[in-house]
Amino acid sequence: MKYLHIIKKYSFFSIAPLITALIQLFSVFIIGHTLSGPELGLAGIFNTLIFILVFISDGGSSNYFIYRKIVSFPEVRIITVLNVSVSFLSILLYFVLSPNFIESSIVTLISFFVMALSISFPLYHYSRLLVEKKFNTIAMVEVFSKFVFIASLSALIYRFQIQGVAVVYAWTASYVIRCLIFIVVCRGFSLYQENSIKYGIKNIIRRWWAYIHNQIFSQFLNYITLTADIFIVSHFGGLERVGVYSLCKDATLKISAVISPVIGKLLISHVVTSDIKVIHLNAKRIFLSILFVAMTIFLAWSVVGPYLLQELRPDIHSDFEIFIYAWAICGVLRMLINPVATIFQGLGETRKELYINLVSSLSFIMIFSLLYVSGVITGVINIILITLIGMYVISLIYSGWLLQKRFQKI
């Protein structure tokens, strides 16, 4: 009966990442097959900006909500307003600094605003569903929103002949639908903490900041490091070259971005409700399972990817296959590092996550500088790829050492 209960509880949740990954890869096919060189590069940069916006619009608040399990309505609204405000300011800052990049499109600007709001607003609803262990419900919402994305992207490109900016409009539609569904679904159970204690705004912000400040600095370092390569490649290689590079990178990040958060949020929801000894006993099993999933998926992508890339761009140089192989290695390493950070988040020890990302950033800077100055390896993209692999290897070793050190204190 126990196994039947597990299958019932996680059935759709288990296959949802695969479905979502396939949808994401299909979007890569549409973008790579349809868009011209400059527009392909534009779409790659927009995808990178959206990747950053998702982090900014969350800012660690979803993990804070999971850590707290249930909070009051005023606290949720104050934190949501803070997230949205920071997101809006970040968007405005980027558009002010790069006005010619998007030709001052007011529609694009509004789309980014709507997307930020749609990401921030349902964070608490998403977290409550995780705490309540409504995993299949979450999976269905996420998969449906990705279908909305791919349908919108196809219509915008093929029907309305919109080019690189189509990814912005499609993601906006996807996140709006996702937000609305989460709100409707969460009406079925108690959302907010009911008590007579009233916390002032300063106390709410202070408690929230105490948990997430390390995580914000940590993720800031992480995302700066993770997006630096796109801007380096675009500077030295132009939009055509960054477009093909971003195709390979986006495919890897899209696969890991739909699988790692699912595993991570599932793991953190168990960490906050379990004893550290239980996590220690199951750590080896958790990492072996993640390694198996990561190796299977990215090995398959390494085999299929080069043929897919050749179909997308028949005139492409064979050297671009290296992008896929290198990013597949990075994908496996990323998926092994993420659970360690998740465990520290669940334990409330977010400073350890900051240390991991600090080591990653320093490793990236040092390895890239040494390779670039020494001239041992030719080609900026080759230097970037080796730098990223080296960075992830160092981060994995360091994060594993930190976790082992934490378990020794039990």
Measured CA to CA in angstroms, residue 63 lies from 8, 200, 210, 216, 399 at distances of: 26, 22, 13, 11, 19
Structure tokens at 104: 């001052």
Angstrom distance (rounded) from CA 219 to CA 213: 10
Among 14-23, 70-79, 110-119, 308-317, the minimum mean pLDDT is found in 308-317
Least confident span in 35-44, 128-137, 234-243: 234-243
Higher pLDDT, 236 or 347: 347
* Per-chain mean pLDDT for the chain: 79
Question: Which residues span the domain enclosing 284?
Answer: 2-407
Inter-residue contact 206 to 199 (CB < 8 Å): no
* pLDDT, position 121: 92
Q: What is the pLDDT of residues 332-361, one digit of tens each?
A: 898 888 888 777 877 777 788 888 888 988
233-236 long-range Cβ contacts below 8 angstroms, 24+ apart: 233/380, 233/381, 233/384, 234/41, 234/45, 236/380
As given in the structure block, the two tokens for residue 87 are: 């997101």
pLDDT in tens, 73-126: 888 899 999 888 888 888 887 777 665 454 557 888 889 999 999 999 999 998
When comparing pLDDT for 378 and 273, which is higher? 378
- How large a percentage of the chain has pLDDT more than 70? 79
pLDDT at residue 291 greater than cutoff 60: yes
Task: Tally the domains of the chain.
Answer: 1
Predicted confidence (pLDDT) per residue in 170-179, tens digit: 999 999 999 9
**CB of 126 within 8 A of CB of 78?**
no
Give mean pLDDT, residues 120-133.
Answer: 88
Q: pTM for the full model?
A: 0.74
Query: In this predicted structure, which of 16-20, 302-306, 370-374 has the lowest mean pLDDT?
Result: 16-20
Query: What are the structure tokens assigned to 135, written together?
Result: 């995993």
Q: Is 41:75 a contact under the CB 8 Å cutoff?
A: no
Confidence grade of residue 244 (pLDDT, cut at 50, 70, 90): low
pLDDT computed for residue 367 by the predictor: 93
Tell me how far CA of residue 227 lies from CA of 41, 146, 235, 359, 384, in angstroms: 14, 23, 13, 16, 11
